[in-house]
Amino acid sequence: MESVLGGRDTLVILPTGGGKSLCYQVPALVLDGLTVVLSPLISLMKDQVDALEAKGIPAAFINSSLTASQISDRLAKAQRGEIKLLYLAPERFEFGNAAERIAAIGVSLLAIDEAHCISEWGHDFRPSYRRVRDIREKLGSPPTLALTATATPEVRRDIARVLDLRDPEVVLTGFDRPNLRWHVVRTKNDSEKDGTLTDILARHDGVAIVYAATRKTVDRVAGVLNRAGIRAEAYHAGLDDSRRREVQDAFMSEQVRAIVATNAFGMGIDKRNVRLVVHHAMPGSLEAYYQEAGRAGRDGEPADCYLLHAFQDRFTHEFFIKAACPERDVVTAVYYAACNRAEADGSLSLDAAGLASAAKGKVSDREAESALRILTAAGALSASEGSRSRARVRMLATPERVRAELGAEETIEIGVLRALWRMTRGRIAEGAVVDLDALPPGLAGPGGATDVLDALQDRQFVIWSRVGEGLVVTDRTAPIERWPVDWETLDRRRKAESSQLDVVQKYAYTDRCRRGFVLRYFGDPAATNRCEQCDNCLSLKHEAVASGTALKDLRKKGARSGGARGGKSGKAEPAGLDDLTAAEQALLDALRALRSTLSKRDAVPAYVVFADRTLREMARSRPVTAGALADVYGVGPAKMEKYGEEFLEAIRGA
C-alpha cells in the first residue's frame, strides 16, 4: 500500500487469502480519481463488488452481463465521483470508446488482478492480457499495480516486461500455506477416480471444490456425486451467465456441499471456509495446481488438497498443447487449404472444421482454429465484417416456443421475427438471406434489427450472420514464407507448456516432501525437506477406491449417521468448530440460519453478511450490546448498521 500511495509501479505476489485485494482497495479510498481494476472473470467482479458495497464502499463492474444503458449509467456515476473502484475485463477495451471515456474521468491507479495471465510463461495465458500495456497507455499511463498468487521468477520478469513497469517495487511475501495438507492418490482410470473422490468427500466434513479438466467430465462427476447422495453442482463456461450465477450463489450460501468445476471457477472467489479441494485430474502446471488448491482454507483453519493422478492425464494436456501451439507444418497446411478454397476475392466460406478436412495431413479442428488465429495475426488472413444490410438468418425456435417465452404482446422481438417470416415466406426456418433494409418501418432499421437478432441469438431463438462476414485470404498466390509468422515464439510456448507439464507430473510422483517441492519451485526460501503436512511426510499410503465400493461404503455410513454429509441434519461442520460447547453450537446454528435468511433477502453471498469466524466469535462471546458486538472480529460500522440489531436480537433471544 505504501508503494502504491507513493505512486510507484508495484508487482505483488501474495498467497491466496493473503490480502491482495486490500492492496488496491484501501489506496482507492485515499487517492483522488478512479481506480480501475482489470479482472478476468464476471463471477470474480460480482463477488468483490458485492463485498465492497456491503461495506459501504462505492464500487461497480462493467461486463457483458450489462445492457448498454446500464454501462452508460455506471460510467456517468464514475464521472460524477460516485464510484471509486471500477472493475472491467481487459476485453472491454477492444471495442467502443471505453478507454477514452474512462481516461477522461481521470485514473489514479490501474490494478491488474490475476497478473499471471499476462505472461506467456504463466499457467493461464490469455491474449487480451498481453494487450494490457496498450490499455494502460490509453488510460494515461497511471501508476500500475500487478497482483498474483503464483509466479516463478521467470513469470515475474515477464509480467514486468510486458507491462513496461517503471522500476517496480516487487513485494514477495512467500508462497507457504502452512494450514494446508497435501495428498496425491494414484489411480488407474476414471472409475477409480470417481470412487476415490466419493470416498474422500465422505470422510471429510465441510464444503468442497472439485476441479475437472473438461466440461463433459464436470457434468459427469457432478452426476456421480449426486447419485451418491452428496449434493453437488456443475460449473463451467458452457453454462449461461444466469445459471453460473445461480450455481456460484448456491455454493457461497452452502446450499450445496460441493461444486464441480473447470478452472473457470474460483479466481478471486472469497469463500473462506472451503475445507477440501480435490483435483479429479492433473492440471497442466504446478502454478495452476497451487492456485486452485490454494482456494482451500482461506480462513487459516486446516484444510486438505488432493490430486487424483493417472498417468494418462498427461495425454489430455498434450492434446491441448498441440492444439493451442500447432507445429509449423500444420499451420502451413491450413494456410494452403485456405488459399485453394478461397473465392476470387479472397473470401472464405469454410470454417475451421472445413479447413481441417481440406488440409493435407492429419489436422484437428482445434489445430485449425489456432492456425487461423496465427495466420490472421501475421496478416495472411483478415476478418471481414460483411454486409451492413444483408444477413443469413435461421430460426431455431418453434412458433410455439416463441409464443410461450416471448408472450403475446407486440414487442420489437416479435415484430422482427414476424417480419422475417413473412419476407422469406417461412424459409427462415431452414435458413434464408434477408435484406434488413426491407424491414417495415418502426423496427429500428438495420442497426436496431441487428441488436434484436443478437439478443435473440443469445437466447437461442435464431442463429444469424452478415453476408460476407468471415475470413478473407489476403493474397491467394503468396507463399506462406511471405508472412511474418512468429515461429520462434510458437515453438517457445509449446516447449514451455510441455516443461510445466513435466513439473506437475514430478510433483505427483515424488516420494519426498510435497510442500518443499512446491516452495522450491517458486524459489521460496521457506522450503524444507520435511513438513508433517503432506502424505509423504506423514507416511500416509493412499489407496484408490473402486467406484462401486465407495458408493456401498457411503450408503452404509449414511444409514448409520443420517446422510453422506454427516449428522442428522445432513449439514457438514467446518473444521475448527469442535471446541464449542453445546449451547454455543446451538447459538452458532441459529446465527447461521439468520445469516442465510439475510443473504437471500439482500441477494448477496452469505459471507458478505458475516464470515464464519465472526459468527463463531459471536457464539462464544455472546455480545448483547452494540458496543460489545462492535468488538467482535469482522463487525465494521457498515455491517453494524445494516445487520447489527438483527444479530443482537438473536443472541439476546438465546
CATH number for the domain that contains residue 605:
1.10.150.80
Among the ranges given (93-107, 297-311, 557-571, 606-620), the one the predictor scored with the smallest mean pLDDT? 557-571
Average pLDDT over residues 233-246: 84
Q: Are 27 and 94 found together in one domain? A: yes
pLDDT band per the 50, 70, 90 thresholds, residue 569: very low
What average pLDDT score do residues 388-406 get? 82
Query: 620: exposed, middle or buried (C-beta count within 10 Å: 0-12, 13-18, 19+)?
Result: middle
Looking at residue 122, what DSSP letter applies? Answer: S
Domain count, the chain: 5
Query: Residue 332: exposed, middle, or buried by beta-carbon count in 10 A (0-12, 13-18, 19+)?
Result: buried
Higher pLDDT, 415 or 199: 199
Cell of 401: 416456443
Q: List the grid coordinates of 232.
A: 453437488
pLDDT at 562: 34
Provide the residue type at 209 as one letter.
I
Strand partners, 208: 258, 276
What pLDDT, in 10s, does the model give residues 3-54?
Answer: 999 999 999 988 777 788 899 999 999 998 899 999 877 667 777 888 888 8
HSE on the CB side for 278, CA within 13 Å? 27
Q: What is the mean pLDDT of residues 344-356?
A: 84
pLDDT at 127: 67
**Helix (H/G/I), strand (E/B), else coil: 55:** coil
Q: How far apart are CA 278 and CA 257, in angstroms?
A: 13
Pair (481, 455) in one structural domain = no
What confidence score (pLDDT) does residue 380 get?
A: 93
Close Cβ partners of 208 (under 8 Å, ≥ 6 residues apart): 201, 257, 258, 259, 274, 275, 276, 277, 278
Domain span at residue 643 reads 582-653
Domain boundary among 153, 172, 191: 172
What's the pLDDT score for residue 87?
Answer: 92
**526 pLDDT higher than 90:** no
pLDDT in tens, 56-114: 889 999 877 777 788 888 888 988 889 999 998 887 776 667 788 888 889 999 999 88
One domain for residues 93 and 10: yes
Q: Give the pLDDT score at 580.
A: 80
206 and 302 in a single domain? The answer is yes
Distance between CA atoms of residues 550 and 197, nearest Å = 9
pLDDT at 564: 37
- Both 27 and 62 in one domain: the answer is yes
Q: What is the mean pLDDT of residues 120-135?
A: 70
Residue 157 identity: R
- Within this chain, do residues 457 and 478 fall inside the same structural domain, yes or no? no
Question: Considering the entire predicted model, what is its pTM?
Answer: 0.67
Instruction: Say what the pLDDT of residue 481 is.
Output: 95
What is the spatial distance between Cα 406 and Cα 104, in angstroms, rounded to a whole number? Answer: 40
Asked if residue 565 is part of any domain, the answer here is: no
pLDDT of residue 371: 93
Confidence of residue 567 (pLDDT cuts 50, 70, 90): very low
pLDDT for residue 96: 67
Residues 533 and 635 in one domain: no
87 shares its domain with 204? no
Written as one string, the DSSP assignment of 588-600 is HHHHHHHHHHHHH
pLDDT at 187 over 60: yes
Residues 106 and 145 in one domain: yes
Q: How far is 127 from 585, CA to CA, in rounded Å?
A: 49
Which of 162-176, 355-369, 569-583, 602-616 comes out lowest in average pLDDT?
Answer: 569-583
- Both 18 and 79 in one domain: the answer is yes
Q: What is the mean pLDDT of residues 407-420?
A: 80
Phi, psi of 471 (to 5 degrees): -85, 150
Copy the grid coordinates of residue 194.
470417481
Strands (E), 310-431: 381-384, 390-395
**Domain CATH code at residue 224:** 3.40.50.300
Q: Are residues 401 and 524 in the same domain?
A: no
pLDDT of residue 72: 84
Cell, residue 140: 494515461
Reading the block at residue 612, the C-alpha cell is 464464519
Sign of CA dihedral 128, 129, 130, 135: positive
What local confidence, expressed as pLDDT, does residue 555 receive? 54
pLDDT computed for residue 404 by the predictor: 81
User: What are 395's strand-pairing partners?
Assistant: 462
Instruction: Write down which residue in 148, 172, 196 finishes a domain.
Output: 172
